[in-house]
Amino acid sequence: MRARETNNIIERAHSTLKTRSRVFRGLKNDKSSRELLDGYITNYNFCRKHSSIKTTPAQSAGLTLERWNELIRQSQTYKTNQELKVIQK
């Protein structure tokens, strides 16, 4: 993939995040900002259909999420695993 194509993908993701978070300009601390971003990432990776693959990334990867509780549990497990990797470094 060429650098320009990669940059376009990142710019599009940034634009989408900026547009969707515009109403949250009054976030008071890092924790609330992080929670908003975590929710956005979860929505983007698990719930939002992507035009290029015609489905959600989770479905494309073979993940079947029948209930929101399962989605939340899986995202929390992933986040915990990522935090553990950072601690172990």
| Domains of the chain by residue range | 3-88
Angle, vertex CA 74, rays to CA 68 and CA 75, nearest 5: 90
pTM flag (> 0.75): no
Whole-number Cα distances in Å, 81 to 46, 56, 67, 78, 89: 17, 22, 22, 5, 13
User: Which comes out higher in pLDDT, residue 27 or 49?
Assistant: 49
Query: Are 48 and 71 in contact, with CB atoms under 8 Å apart?
Result: no
Output the pLDDT for position 70.
76
Mean pLDDT, range 81-88, rounded to an integer: 75
